[in-house]
Amino acid sequence: MTEVAVPSHTPPMPLIALTEDEVLFRENIRQFAEEKIRPYVREMDEKGVFDPAIIQQFFQLGLMSIEIPAEYGGGSGTFFEARLAVEEISRVDASAGVIVDVQNTLTANAFLKWGNNEQKKKYLTRMAADTVGAYALSEAGSGSDAFALQTRAELKGNEYILNGRKLWITNGKEAGIFILFATVDPAAGYKGITAFIIEKEFPGFSVGKKEDKLGIRASSTCELLLEDCRVPKSNVLGEVGKGYKIAIETLNEGRIGIGAQMLGVARGAWEFATRYTQERKQFGKALADFQGIQFQIAQMATEIEAARLLVYNAARMKDAGMNFVKEAAMAKLFASQVAERVTSLCVEIYGGYGFTKDYPVEKYYRDAKIGKIYEGTSNMQLQTIAKLVMGK
């Protein structure tokens, strides 16, 4: 078995207005990812199972509660810092990156913005301590048309009774808390959609099949089954009938998170390929001495830098309270395109070796594909951008 060579150095990365604390935070995350995640990446990918011991370390280091206020046991960090964490972890393993991303970006942020005091105290403290969160919107007939969902919630006394099936739920296997969307009135269309807080132990709730995927294989993607699932009336998140607003606003933030994940994936592959061109010799000289290879490395570096600027800018805008919807869509769209292009070219630079699992770039290539699909396909991002720049 060929040993996977880890780059001995990371090419200098521009700070792009990072503060000293952010630089230190990034370096600490990078070191953790290299030392505690990378040794297990290949095994987790092959088995399609994420090591629970690493998730425990995520909690111990505060990576699962970066933005959760200190009063609930979190780090009181910024949205931007959470993006740095997702990027650096995804540089080593995209599966690890998306676990941290969903916890911080989708689940915790939804509680922070829409939860009442009792819900925050009850659930954010658990999420900061030891409980993984998940976000359940998609269904078999409800993907890009997110509000065509069929899961039904019927109020009976002090409880809602939920029936339906959710698909493609990230963190489904590990999660103990789910933010799940159902309609209280199908005739009302999107105005009937409501967000519910579901605990894994609720009667009538179960986790179904785990998908066998092309990429991010260690990240669990599961179906959720609701069969007369009983949910306390107090577990409505936000207001009844306002679930569509929660979903839209949360996913806008989520797109920046996926942009950060794809940025990390592209960087990770590029670093390995750059190192390889310096080691691999053909026709008596290193690949890096050929102008054609130099141009490819330079083009990839330029596109990665452009993706970074888009992702970082969108994250800064979110933290500043600015309208970031267009910038988030652009960041997610472009970063996913760059990740796919860069990882594909890195496989080609490795040649035949790049097509084998003995070397790391084929996994980066597989992991990159999901970036154009989840949390809004590329076509949906283009539609959003078109509406905002053209009024269409």
Above 80 in pLDDT, residue 1? no
**Contact (Cβ atoms closer than 8 angstroms) between residue 87 and residue 371:** no
pLDDT tens digits, one per residue of 204-259: 999 999 999 999 999 999 999 999 999 999 999 999 999 999 999 999 999 999 99
For the segment 62-84, what is each residue's pLDDT rounded down to a tens digit? 999 999 999 999 999 999 999 99
Give the pLDDT band (50/70/90) at residue 16. low
Range(s) of the chain covered by CATH 1.20.140.10: 245-390
Which residues are 210's β-sheet partners? 222
Q: What is the DSSP letter of 139?
A: B
Per-residue model confidence (pLDDT) at position 144: 81
Average per-residue pLDDT for the chain: 94
CATH topology of domain 134-241: Butyryl-CoA Dehydrogenase, subunit A; domain 2 (2.40.110)
Task: Assess whether pLDDT exceeds 70 at residue 15.
Answer: no
Residues 6+ apart with CB under 8 A from 262: 90, 307, 332, 335, 336, 338, 339, 368, 371
Report d(CA 150, CA 129) in Å as an integer: 33
Portion of the chain with pLDDT greater than 90, in percent? 92
pLDDT in tens, 117-163: 999 999 999 999 999 999 999 999 887 887 789 999 999 999 999 99
Distances (CA, A) of 236 to 155, 160, 179, 229, 299: 11, 9, 10, 14, 49
Q: Give per-residue pLDDT as tens, 113-123.
A: 999 999 999 99
Which contacts of 199-203 are long-range, i.e. CB under 8 A and separated by 24 or more positions?
A: 200/175, 200/176, 202/229, 202/230, 202/231, 203/228, 203/229, 203/230
Residue extent(s) of CATH 2.40.110.10 domains in the chain: 134-241
pLDDT score recorded for residue 391: 83
List, by residue range, all CATH 1.10.540.10 domains of the chain. Answer: 20-132
The string of DSSP letters for 167-203 reads EEEETTTTEEEEEEEEES-GGGGGGGEEEEEEETTST
Cα–Cα dist 308/87, whole Å: 10
- Dist. CA 81–CA 265, nearest whole Å: 18
Mean pLDDT confidence for 191-203: 97
Residues recognised as catalytic: 375
Enter the CATH code of domain 245-390.
1.20.140.10
Determine if the pTM surpasses 0.85: yes
Domain 20-132, what architecture? Orthogonal Bundle (1.10)
Q: Does the pLDDT of residue 8 top 60, yes or no?
A: no
CA distance 105 to 315: 11
Q: In this predicted structure, what is the pLDDT of residue 31?
A: 97
Encode pLDDT of 325-370 as tens digits: 999 999 999 999 999 999 999 999 999 999 999 999 999 999 999 9
User: 230 phi and psi, to 5 degrees?
Assistant: -95, 120
